[in-house]
Amino acid sequence: MKILMFGWEFPPHITGGLGTACYGLTRSLATEGAEIVFVVPKAFGDEDQSAVRLMGASDIEIDAADPDTQEFWKRVTYLQIGSNLIPYVTPEAFRRLVEERQRQQQQPIDDLVLKAKFDFNGGYGSDLLAEVSRYALIAAGLAGKQQFDVIHAHDWPTYPAGIAAAAISHKPLVVHVHATEFDRSGENINHEVYDIERRGMEAADRVIAVSNFTRNTIIEKYGIAPDKVVTVHNGIAAATDYTGSTTRYLKEKVVTFLGRLTQQKGPEYFVEAAHMLLQYDKNVRFVMAGSGDMLPRLVRQVARLGIGTRFHFTGFLDEQEVQQLFAISDVFVMPSVSEPFGLVPLEAIRANVPVVISRQSGVSEVLDHVLKVDFWDVNALADAIHGLLTYKSLASEFRKHGKNEVSQLTWDHAAHQVIKIYEDVVAISQLT
């Protein structure tokens, strides 16, 4: 089975759980015999390619005179996703785009003007929609030259690329929903992003959801037929031995939050619970690890509540630093408002840290030996943290049985399910 896979990030260049999930899944798919070409906007050269052949869209040249590219313009005119879209109408439009690009760079225009490469940032900045559209154009050109059986697109920035590749190749498309716009933005959704997500799900032969929580959102909010949406829970990679220091220089207990500081992750509820708990237990320090757009607001919240001497912001941590933080943590908390899955609680449990998670998370479907609360119930959140800090037998039981649970959640199991999905869509496509 040969897979053309589109993703937006790949370790070690990641901003969240998406890249980690792609890495874990592709490695296990390789053990199942899958051959994977994994395309990212920008390849840095230091990625682990032991299980995949990684291609950077920045390195792929597009030729407007190429028959596959012209076929794309004829067939995929509906991929308009906002004012930043590259014109997909005629080779002349593409030529004008390249000419303007060359004028900006003060380069001479010659007979090869119809050939161009596009520079991708590969991040999630203000030009994301423009990069998404350029990425789709690259995908169209690539799909006409690669031999593969299935297209697999991870999350909304790659859905237009998946649609384009499927239109050129006539191969089945699987889209993998790691999060939806409702998870990221609540009810105040970005309608351009929502439309891209919906189109991707509608065009796909099969939609993979990372949890039943996400599957229900896909069915109810996007109107996708239930029999088209399959839940495949995430796994966790095999543990690597932590060799750093485990020396504690703090006499207080340590309660940790680790994640992007965005509305979706509920960091403000963590701050409120910290304030509540510190009213009757001063022997605790709270650590918030991560970065995001809510950081200034959270710093102000901590200052307003007067808990700055017991609350610490670390910024983004690399893998080794995360393990060091887990080594000194007594409780890990994930109070997410809407979490499609949530890999970090699994990592915390594996590091012997008892966990409190919100019921509004996909990972709550697969874990029993954790404390679960509603994200908005700050009283219950504070009580849960206090219980794990106070009752040693409870924490000990959660550590013991939690590790057993996590050991069953492997990427190999997820990959086996995904292979079955590939086989199904390929079989169906061969009948039609």
Question: Per residue in 400-425, pLDDT tens?
Answer: 888 888 888 899 999 999 999 999 99
Give CA 381 to chain center in angstroms. Answer: 26
Average pLDDT over residues 202-230: 96
- Is the model's pLDDT at 151 over the cut of 60? yes
- Asked if residue 158 belongs to a domain, the reply is yes
**Residue 11 shares a structural domain with residue 123:** yes
CATH number at residue 191: 3.40.50.2000
* pLDDT value of position 96: 59
- Asked if residue 302 belongs to a domain, the reply is yes
**Residue 111 shares a structural domain with residue 139:** yes
- Asked if residue 246 belongs to a domain, the reply is no
Average pLDDT over residues 386-403: 91
- Asked if residue 134 belongs to a domain, the reply is yes
- Asked if residue 244 belongs to a domain, the reply is no
> Mean pLDDT over all residues of the chain?
85
Question: Per residue in 170-191, pLDDT tens?
Answer: 999 999 999 999 998 887 888 8
**Residue 418 shares a structural domain with residue 382:** no
**What are the b/e assignments for 313-335, b being 16+ CB within 10 Å?**
beeebeeeebbbbbbbbbbbbbb
Contact 174, 153 (CB under 8 A): yes
Between 47 and 324, residue with greater pLDDT: 324
Q: How far apart are CA 310 and CA 370, in angstroms?
A: 25
* Domain that includes residue 387, residue range: 253-407
Overall domain count for the chain: 2
**Residue 388 shares a structural domain with residue 417:** no
Between 66 and 200, residue with greater pLDDT: 200
CA distances, 79 to each of 95, 143, 188, 400 (Å)? 19, 16, 23, 51
Question: Per residue in 71-80, pLDDT tens?
Answer: 555 544 333 3
Question: Per residue in 4-53, pLDDT tens?
Answer: 999 998 888 877 778 889 999 999 999 999 999 999 988 888 888 888 88
Q: How far apart are CA 246 and CA 254, in angstroms?
A: 13
**Residue 106 shares a structural domain with residue 210:** yes
Q: Residues of the chain with pLDDT > 70: what percent?
A: 84
* pLDDT value of position 241: 56
**Residue 37 shares a structural domain with residue 145:** yes
Q: Which ranges constitute the DSSP H helices of 155-248? A: 159-169, 181-185, 191-203, 212-222
**Residue 93 shares a structural domain with residue 194:** yes
**Residue 108 shares a structural domain with residue 31:** yes
- Is the model's pLDDT at 217 over the cut of 50? yes
* pLDDT value of position 26: 93
**Residue 352 shares a structural domain with residue 422:** no
Question: Per residue in 72-129, pLDDT tens?
Answer: 555 443 333 333 333 333 445 545 555 565 565 554 434 333 455 667 777 776 667 7
**Residue 178 shares a structural domain with residue 54:** yes
* pLDDT value of position 238: 67
pTM of the complete model: 0.82
